[in-house]
Structure formats: C-alpha cells, structure tokens
Chain A
Amino acid sequence: MEAIYKWSVELPKRIHKAKYFGNLEAEVIDKGLCSHCGTCAAICPVDGIIVEDKPIEFPNWKRDCVNCGACVRVCPRWDYKPLNGIGEYIEVLSAKSKRFKGQDGAMVTEIMASALEMGVIDRAVFVGRDENWKPVTAIVKDVEQLLEETIRGTKYSFADVMPRIKELIKDYKVGVVGTPCMMSGVRRLQKESEIFENIKLAIGLFCTENFYHWQLHEFLLKEKNVDMKDAVKTDIKKGKFIVKLRDGSKVSFPVKEFDPIIPSGCEVCQDFSAVESDVSVGSVGSKGGYSSLIVRQENAKEILDYIFEKGYAERGDMSIDAVQKLCDFKIKIHPYPPKH
C-alpha cells in the first residue's frame, strides 16, 4: 500500500463556540434528542464519554476533549432525520431455535452462535444481567457461554454495548445485538472509519422504547409492588407488560402506564423494525415461542442458510402485516418534531 504523509478529515459544522463534545451536549443531549445508544462513546479516542444508567456525559470535557469531532460525526441524532417503516429486506420468516431457550424463539442467540461457529465473527457483545435485572454487557467467545441463562432474553433497560466494541474492534471480528438507534450508530461508525468494518454482524431488535434501569425498577416497586429480584421473565405482548415471578404468578398491565418514565430520546424515535440492521428479530408477527426475522443483508442470509442446513432451527408462519401495523403505530405516537 502506498504510504501518504498528508491526509485530512472533514470537520463537522460547529454550531457553538465550544469543543465538539460541548456542541453535542448542547444540540443533542440537552435538547432531549439523545437516544442513549452510546455510539459517541464507541469512537471517542480518549475514552471520555460515559454510558451508564443516566444521561450520557463526558466529565471534564472542557479539559479533556481533544476536539476531533468524531462524536458529532457519528451521532444518529445530530441533524436528525428519523427513519421509519419496515425498510428493505431480502426475506421475512419465523423461526424457533432448537438449541437455545430465549425470549421467544431465541433466534438472536442462535444467529450469533452460528456466526461464531462459522467464523464470521470472533467475538459477540451480549447483554447479561445481575439479580436486579440491571444489564451487564458480556463478551462472548464461544457457544458454551451462550448456554448461561442470564445472557439470553430481553432486558428492558439501556446497556453499554457500544463502548465495549471499542476494545475489540482493532483485533477481532465483532457481532453486535442492539436497538434500532444502535444499528443506525453502527452504520455511521462504519461510514466514519473503516476500522468499524470489523463489525461483521449487526442484529437489530424490534423496539418501541427503552428505559433507564433505575426508573424501571423504582416504578415496578412503587406502583406495581414488584421487586425485580423475584422476576424470571419480562415480556411485552399485545400492548401489555408482563412480569413472570419466581413463584409462578404473573403481573401484567398496559404498556401505556410506562408513559411517565419513557426517556425523551425514545419519544422522537420512529424506527420500530431496525431498518439499518443486517437482520431484525422480534416477537411481533409470530406465534408464541417463535421469533420473527426480517433478513436485510447477504451476510445474515448466509448465516440463516447455515442454520437451516444444520437443522439448528425450525421454521414457522410469519405475518408481515402485524409488523407493518406496529411500524405505523410508532410513527403515529412519536412525531418529529415533537408536538409539545
């Protein structure tokens, strides 16, 4: 490769007179647009941006930010143009994993496990949880780790998946699973710096909104008298939030009751089916115990061919109309610019 000794990078437009993180803070975080995806933290060269169970921040950014502008360039909410609809796809299907037990058909786990087996990826970033159902990211090297119970299943809270990509991206091929905002972030990372082409698999989840864990925990405890320590499964089905407890009982209530604690960044999001992922996975459109899959890119198709060839999963019936209905519903309830 020819070596060059002079190169340049486009600087984003600076709206305020501060360093670039100050701009990001003023235009995205303080305006309530931040989706808490953590893409900015994935690219920050000085590891200054913190993604935890509170709004995104960079303590001491006035001193430590090196003013590269990378966070601004990759943020999906900078110059926000919302994505919506079902998006482009190669195939839609419904499947259920024979190897794993998960939220519905455990297809996210199955696709990652097969990708690890095929060698498409070397490492996968999964989200596990502690006994309070607080998300804890885990880096998965081999299929055996996925058999652990706490790694599989949906956790309805923010997790710091994107910063974990940073420590893997220079040496390994990485697989990521996340919400639609994270998928948009992944695509922007790949456009910004080719090192992120090492993200070889991006699985998106159907998403209406996400929560801060402390708010969810407090809400369930105070309003519904449910301590998350006793929960074995959480689910959202047909507009109802269902918690299955250890003693076998179930607590269920309409999702609308969560409205007070929905983060402001989710209220402007219209992307239900993760249009920028390689494959989108969710429960809508399939019967119980099966996952719906919308396969969008060739790499995901190859993995699914491998899965069915090896007989790791069985097919089922999938109705795309149910998904379309929910996509339209999300556009309706989350207008941009917001009404109030």
Chain B
Amino acid sequence: MKVEKVEIDPISRIIGHINAISVGVKQAIKPERITVEYPRERRKLPDNFRGLILFEKDRCISCFRCAFICPANAIQMELYDNYYPSIDYSKCILCHFCVDSCPTTALKQTKIHDVAFRDLDEMVVHTDEMINPPKLVREDKITVEYKIDRELILERRKEVENLIVDVEPVERIGYHSACVNPQNCIGCALCARVCPANAISVKTEDEKRVLSIDVDKCTGCGLCVRECPTKTLSLVEVV
C-alpha cells in the first residue's frame, strides 16, 4: 500500500494560518473558559447533593434501618437514652441509602462534602456530633453555576451558598406492629425484648404467657417483626 503525500495548495495554507491566528487572538481577548477557581469560587450544588449526613434526634424512632441497610457497614448504633446512629466516615461512601431508608427523615443530607479529618479517630462521628453541622472554614465569596443554553456559559454570582438544606419531615403512613399469625407464636417474647419503645409487654396469667402490644407507644419501627423467629408479627397500617 502506497501512502501518498498530502499536497495542500499555498492559498489554503495561508488561510489556515490566518484562521489559527485569529482564533488565538480571539481567545486571548475573550476566552470562553469555564474554569471554576475553587476554593474562592464554588459551584452551586443541587439540593439533594449527597454530602455529609446530619441527624435530628427528636425524629428518630430507633428502627435500626439505617444500620441494616448501610452497604459499607459504616453505621453503628450507640446507646444514649435509646439507640441512635453514628457514622464512621472512613467507611461511609456517602451513598445515602440510610437517608433514603429512614422512615422519619431523622437523617438528612447536606451539601458539605469537602471535609478533612485530622486522624482516623476523628472520622468516627458520634451521634452528638451529628446533630449540629461541623465547623466550616469558608473561603468562597462567589457561587458559580453552569448554564447550558446553546453553549456552556459560566455564571458567576456574588453570593455564598448555604450548605445546610432544610428537610421537611415526610408525611408518613402510620404503621404499627400487630400479631397477624397467632398460631405461629412460640411465646419466646424476643419481640418484647427488642422493642425500643417498650410497647410490647409480657405477662404470665394462669398457665399462659400473654403478650400485648400497646398501640399508642408503638412507632412502627419494625424491629419486632425482624426479630420474631416464626413470622408471627407484621406491620399493619394505622386505621
């Protein structure tokens, strides 16, 4: 196979040169660059950005769903007056499965993502440290947003973005636990042991073990349903 030399006639060469120089000069005068000069400028993040996770203690019902669903095993439940989650950020992959699975939006997302921990011990964030947002040193004065119209434009605004998002508590369907298969029950009372709200009580009345669920106390966390070895309990909707 013979490779032929490409011949370009001089006129197109000169036009090519002029083209190149004009592009260079045009870009030198008004560049179309879209560089974000981080950290003095910061890109605007969407509200559901997956950053650090904050915790609202009053909303938590200790259902353990966050700890069960975490794919990286980063959440450990710590005992205060009840069990509350703590996150180990050396394992956490910020997937926010825990935030999604929390039935009461006690865990909520923030836009804080560029954090630095000084040592590995600091990376285990306990529950009391998760309630208030961490101390931030903000160097940015300008927020940058990319707008795509026909071409990519960078819009700079002189504002400082709030990194904490307000999350409204979700409208929850009320559930509580109920015994739907009494013929399965073997009377082990593990449900009463594990209930974080102490809603299930066990009594012995004339040769029988009597278990009862206090519907007002039950938060519908589902821990008793998980723990029952014989599928006696189930969550039913509040009527």
Contacts of B230 in A (CB 8 A): 170, 193-195
Compute how far the CA of A43 lies from the CA of B228 in the bound complex, rounded to whole angstroms: 12
Q: A6-B210, A6-B212, A195-B231 are in contact. Are A46 and B190 (CB under 8 A)?
A: yes
Partner of A193, one of B184, B190, B204, B211: B184
Q: Are B208 and A66 in contact (CB under 8 A)?
A: no
Partner of A68, one of B178, B188, B207, B208: B188
Contacts of A200 in B (CB 8 A): none
Contacts of A316 in B (CB 8 A): none
Q: Are A4 and B182 in contact (CB under 8 A)?
A: yes
B181 within 8 A of A: yes
Compute how far the CA of A8 lies from the CA of B181 in the bound complex, rounded to whole angstroms: 12
Compute how far the CA of A170 lies from the CA of B183 in the bound complex, rounded to whole angstroms: 15
Q: Are B184 and A194 in contact (CB under 8 A)?
A: yes
Those of B159-206 within 8 Å (CB) of chain A:
178-190, 193, 204-205
Contacts of B207 in A (CB 8 A): 10-11
Q: Are B231 and A170 in contact (CB under 8 A)?
A: yes
- Select from chain A the residue with minimum beta-carbon distance to B213: A5
Q: Are A6 and B211 in contact (CB under 8 A)?
A: yes
Q: Are B186 and A43 in contact (CB under 8 A)?
A: yes
Q: Are A9 and B186 in contact (CB under 8 A)?
A: yes
Contacts of B179 in A (CB 8 A): 3-5, 7
Q: Are A166 and B205 in contact (CB under 8 A)?
A: no
Compute how far the CA of A45 lies from the CA of B227 in the bound complex, rounded to whole angstroms: 9
A70 within 8 A of B: yes
Partner of A8, one of B178, B205, B213, B215: B205
Q: Are A7 and B186 in contact (CB under 8 A)?
A: no
Those of A1-28 within 8 Å (CB) of chain B:
1, 3-11
Those of A170-203 within 8 Å (CB) of chain B:
170, 192-195
B229 within 8 A of A: yes
Compute how far the CA of A193 lies from the CA of B205 in the bound complex, rounded to whole angstroms: 21
Compute how far the CA of A217 lies from the CA of B202 in the bound complex, rounded to whole angstroms: 48
Contacts of A46 in B (CB 8 A): 188, 190
Q: Could you say which of B187, B188, B212, B230 has the most chain A C-beta atoms within 10 Å of its C-beta?
A: B187
- Select from chain A the residue with minimum beta-carbon distance to B214: A5
Q: Chain A's interface: helix, strand, loop or mixed, by majority? A: mixed
Compute how far the CA of A3 lies from the CA of B212 in the bound complex, rounded to whole angstroms: 12
Kindly state the interface size class of chain B when it binds its partner: 20 to 34
Annotate A70-94 by CB proximity to B: 1 below 8 A, 0 otherwise: 1001000000000000000000000
Q: How far is the CB of B217 from chain A (nearest CB, A)?
A: 11
Compute how far the CA of A73 lies from the CA of B230 in the bound complex, rounded to whole angstroms: 15
Q: How far is the CB of A38 from chain B (nearest CB, A)?
A: 16
Q: How far is the CB of A69 from chain B (nearest CB, A)?
A: 6
Q: Are A1 and B190 in contact (CB under 8 A)?
A: no
Q: A43-B186, A46-B190, A194-B183 are in contact. Are A9 and B209 (CB under 8 A)?
A: yes
Q: Are B187 and A70 in contact (CB under 8 A)?
A: yes
Q: Are A11 and B209 in contact (CB under 8 A)?
A: yes
Compute how far the CA of A46 lies from the CA of B210 in the bound complex, rounded to whole angstroms: 20
Q: Are B208 and A4 in contact (CB under 8 A)?
A: no
B21 within 8 A of A: no
Q: A45-B229, A166-B229, A195-B231 are in contact. Are A9 and B181 (CB under 8 A)?
A: no
B23 within 8 A of A: no
Those of A36-84 within 8 Å (CB) of chain B:
43, 45-46, 66, 68-70, 73
Contacts of B181 in A (CB 8 A): 194-195
Q: Are A70 and B188 in contact (CB under 8 A)?
A: yes
- Select from chain A the residue with minimum beta-carbon distance to B233: A3
Compute how far the CA of A11 lies from the CA of B211 in the bound complex, rounded to whole angstroms: 13
Compute how far the CA of A8 lies from the CA of B208 in the bound complex, rounded to whole angstroms: 6
Q: Are B188 and A45 in contact (CB under 8 A)?
A: yes
B236 within 8 A of A: yes
Compute how far the CA of A121 lies from the CA of B231 in the bound complex, rounded to whole angstroms: 19
Compute how far the CA of A149 lies from the CA of B54 in the bound complex, rounded to whole angstroms: 57
Q: A11-B187, A66-B188, A66-B190 are in contact. Are A1 and B180 (CB under 8 A)?
A: yes
Compute how far the CA of A193 lies from the CA of B183 in the bound complex, rounded to whole angstroms: 6
- Select from chain A the residue with minimum beta-carbon distance to B218: A5
Q: How far is the CB of B214 from chain A (nearest CB, A)?
A: 8
Those of A93-150 within 8 Å (CB) of chain B:
none
The 8 closest A-B pairs by CB, nearest first: A3-B178, A9-B187, A45-B188, A68-B188, A6-B212, A70-B186, A195-B230, A7-B182
A-B contact pairs, 22 of them (CB 8 A): A1-B180, A3-B178, A4-B179, A6-B211, A7-B212, A8-B209, A8-B211, A9-B187, A10-B207, A11-B204, A45-B188, A46-B188, A46-B190, A68-B187, A192-B186, A193-B185, A193-B186, A194-B181, A195-B181, A195-B184, A195-B229, A195-B230
**B interface residue numbers (CB < 8 A to A):** 178-190, 193, 204-205, 207-213, 215, 229-231, 236
* Given A3-B179, A45-B186, A195-B229, 12 other A-B residues pairs in contact with their CB atoms under 8 A: A3-B180, A4-B178, A4-B180, A8-B210, A9-B185, A9-B187, A11-B207, A43-B229, A46-B190, A68-B189, A170-B229, A193-B184
